[in-house]
């Protein structure tokens, strides 16, 4: 049986300063926080992850190792890696940190452009509404 993981897998941004393995970890944390991945759900193997994301297998292996170290996954004999029982707690912290990092970037760019808070919030609202309408 071939499993598809594409629902929560990230679109890798090779231009991002965030390393690819960290983008994968962040994607798992966001999927757990959003309830798309639940404790006990299987995670892809190194080979499947590398193939799905078109990344180096060493990068996929590092991401899967780091997921375990972070407490987001656990190894299960005969199954592979699964989402850890207490992953939601870890995921909530990591997801909040990811949001803060993105907001910091928005504030920095808006400030450099001389936008006011109101102008920045208006632009954010338009994006938010566009995203809602795209669903």
In a domain, 105, yes or no: yes
pTM above 0.85, yes or no: no
In a domain, 13, yes or no: no
pLDDT of res. 133: 73
Q: What is the CATH number of the domain that holds 108?
A: 1.10.10.10
The 10s digit of each residue's pLDDT in 49-104 is 999 999 999 999 999 999 999 999 999 998 899 999 999 999 999 999 989 999 99
Q: How many domains does the chain have?
A: 1
pLDDT of res. 86: 95
In a domain, 12, yes or no: no
Which residue reads 């970037």 in tokens?
A: 105
In a domain, 76, yes or no: yes
In a domain, 11, yes or no: no
In a domain, 69, yes or no: yes
Q: Is 87 exposed, middle or buried (0-12, 13-18, 19+ CB in 10 A)?
A: buried
**83 pairs with which residues across the strands?**
73
Q: Which residue has the higher pLDDT, 131 or 63?
A: 63
Q: What are phi and psi of 20, to 5 degrees?
A: -55, -45
In a domain, 72, yes or no: yes
């Amino acid at each position: 049986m071939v499993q598809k993981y594409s629902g929560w897998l990230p679109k890798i941004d090779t231009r991002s300063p965030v390393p690819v393995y960290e983008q994968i970890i962040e994607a798992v944390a966001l999927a757990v926080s959003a309830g798309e991945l639940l404790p006990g759900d299987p995670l892809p193997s190194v080979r499947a992850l590398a193939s799905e994301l078109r990344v180096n297998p060493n990068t996929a292996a590092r991401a899967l190792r780091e997921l375990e170290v972070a407490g987001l996954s656990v190894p299960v004999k005969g199954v592979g890696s699964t989402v850890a029982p207490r992953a939601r707690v870890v995921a909530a912290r990591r997801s909040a940190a990811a949001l803060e990092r993105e907001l910091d970037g928005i504030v920095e760019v808006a400030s450099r452009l001389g936008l006011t808070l109101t102008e920045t919030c208006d632009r954010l609202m338009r994006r938010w509404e566009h995203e809602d309408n795209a669903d």
